[in-house]
């Protein structure tokens, strides 16, 4: 199943039916951003529900006002800035690290959210009516693409509806 257009933004997912009483949806997933892929579609039986939760948090975060320290940066600089603030060690105090985590966590996108996204790191930044998706793939190569916010939201919400419908089949 593919929601969206792989040349702009899409979520490709497949349900690997694994019977379970908790109605967890297992399967395979990857995202398409400007014709490039984020995630390993060959990673079998990943638990997809947490990815849905992460995407829900992303939609909520994208509705917030922009952060001027991030919004004005180009794609590569925004990635490096967010990576530093959220993941890299430096001379900041514990209090500064905690403050930065609270402030910049809203830009987090799928990093450590499931096996399909192991060895990748990604962020999203909303700039007006555009969503910039910034990521390093599993070969540590930097990529960026942008998509209209309404399209991004529609694709993500379509994935939510799919997860809900597949949950019924998981029982």
Distance CA 115, CA 105 (A): 20
pLDDT score, position 170: 66
Handedness of CA 64, 70, 76, 79 (dihedral sign): negative
Residue 96: per-residue pLDDT: 94
Question: What is the Cα 118 distance to its own chain's centre?
Answer: 12
Structure tokens at 100: 């930065």
What is the domain count for the chain? 1
DSSP characters over 36-77: EEES-TT--SEE-HHHHHHHHHHHHHHTSPP-HHHHTS-HHH
**Whole-angstrom Cα distance, residue 110 to residue 38?**
9
The pLDDT score that the predictor gives to residue 139 is 85
Residue 134 has a pLDDT of 98
The model's pLDDT over 131-144, given as tens digits with 9 standing for 90+, comes to 999 999 888 899 99
pLDDT along the chain (171 residues), means of 10: 97 90 91 96 90 92 92 96 94 94 95 89 94 92 96 96 85 61
Domain limits for position 107: 2-170
Q: What are the helix and strand counts (H, E) for the chain?
A: 5, 8
Cα–Cα distance for residue pair 47/166, rounded to 1 Å: 12
pLDDT reported for residue 169: 73
């Amino acid at each position: 199943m593919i929601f969206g257009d792989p040349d702009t933004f899409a979520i490709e997912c497949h349900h690997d039916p694994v019977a379970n009483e908790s109605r967890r949806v297992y399967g395979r997933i990857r995202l398409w951003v400007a014709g490039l892929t984020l995630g390993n579609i060959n990673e079998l039986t990943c638990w997809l529900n947490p990815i849905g939760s992460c995407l829900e948090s992303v939609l909520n975060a994208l509705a917030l006002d922009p952060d001027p320290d991030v919004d004005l940066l180009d794609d590569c600089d925004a990635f490096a800035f967010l990576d530093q603030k959220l993941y890299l060690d430096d001379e900041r105090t514990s209090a500064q690290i905690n403050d930065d985590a609270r402030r910049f966590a809203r830009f987090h996108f799928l990093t450590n959210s499931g096996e399909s996204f192991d060895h990748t790191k990604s962020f999203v930044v909303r700039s007006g009516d555009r969503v910039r998706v910034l990521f390093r793939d599993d070969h540590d190569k930097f990529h960026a693409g942008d998509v209209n916010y309404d399209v991004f939201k529609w694709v993500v919400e379509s994935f939510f509806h799919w997860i809900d419908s597949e949950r019924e089949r998981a029982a």
